[in-house]
């Protein structure tokens, strides 16, 4: 009697195990199928977008409202200087190839009718290396060369050191190095 109960329980367990196993295996392969069909879809979409972009590129003309962003990496100091300007009349209505011809030293990274991104690398330092120093109670801006040697006074500011914190005054007595015009202007604003 006991033996037959045990056999029944074991049989039920085996059957249950089998059913559960099959169930999870099916769910797993279903997931895989869905995932692979989804990724195929996105690949197809990407390909379509790429094709339509390629087809349009040759038709893009520079609009009179176009903005040009120039980015230069100076490889000696590793500083990037960015400038931007409004498009000049002689560029309006030109396509990408004609624009490239106008800027032979630049790489066009992005070309749309209202914004063009240009990039270049220059084997030099950026020539925007400065030292701020307390000069008779006012902040003076000195130029530095690529080795951080002071080469001369760039200009005096009308920022008085009188009301600055002790830390700032001490820093300005020793000289505070600052790189790029953007950072220089930020620092001067902080002192004002």
Helix, strand, or coil (residue 36): helix
Question: Whose Cβ is closer to Zn ion: residue 29's or residue 80's?
Answer: 80
The contacts found for 148-157 with CB under 8 angstroms, 24 or more apart, are 148/177, 150/175, 154/130, 157/188
3-state class (DSSP) for residue 157: strand
DSSP letter assigned to residue 123: S
Centre a 10 Å sphere on the Cβ of residue 116 and count the other Cβ atoms it contains. Answer: 24
The region of 4-12, 42-50, 73-81, 166-174 touching Zn ion under the rule CB under 5 A is 73-81
Total binding residues for Zn ion by CB under 5 A? 4
- With respect to Zn ion, which residue has the nearer C-beta, 99 or 126? 126
- Minimum CB separation of residue 185 from Zn ion in Å reads 15
Q: Minimum Å distance from CB 74 to Zn ion?
A: 5
126 in contact with Zn ion (CB under 5 A): yes
Q: Is 79 in the site for Zn ion (CB under 5 A)?
A: yes
Shortest Å, Cβ 62 to Zn ion: 31
Q: Which parts of 7-66 interact with Zn ion (CB under 5 A)?
A: none
Q: How far apart are CA 187 and CA 61, in angstroms?
A: 40
Question: Minimum Å distance from CB 148 to Zn ion?
Answer: 11
| 152-157 long-range contacts, CB within 8 A, separation 24+ | 154/130, 157/188
From residue 106 to residue 125, what is the string marking binding to Zn ion with x (rule CB under 5 A)? -------------------x
Hey, which residues does 177 pair with through a beta bridge? 131
Report the interface residues with Zn ion, using CB under 5 A: 77, 79, 125-126
């Amino acid at each position: 009697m006991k033996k037959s109960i045990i056999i029944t329980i074991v049989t039920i367990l085996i059957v249950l195990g089998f059913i559960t196993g099959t169930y999870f295996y099916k769910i797993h392969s279903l997931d895989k199928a869905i995932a692979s069909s989804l990724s195929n879809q996105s690949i197809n979409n990407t390909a379509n977008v790429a094709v339509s972009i390629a087809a349009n590129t040759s038709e893009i003309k520079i609009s009179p409202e176009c903005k040009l962003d120039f980015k230069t990496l100076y490889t000696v100091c590793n500083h990037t200087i960015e400038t931007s300007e409004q498009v000049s009349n002689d560029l309006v209505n030109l396509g990408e190839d004609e624009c490239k011809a106008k800027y032979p030293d630049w790489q066009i990274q992005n070309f749309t009718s209202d914004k063009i991104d240009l990039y270049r690398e220059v084997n030099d330092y950026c020539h925007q290396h400065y030292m701020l120093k307390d000069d008779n109670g006012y902040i003076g801006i000195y130029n530095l060369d690529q080795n951080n040697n002071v080469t001369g006074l760039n200009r005096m500011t009308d920022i008085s050191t009188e009301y600055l914190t002790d830390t700032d005054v001490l820093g300005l007595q020793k000289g505070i190095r600052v790189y790029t015009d953007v950072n220089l202007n930020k620092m001067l604003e902080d002192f004002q």
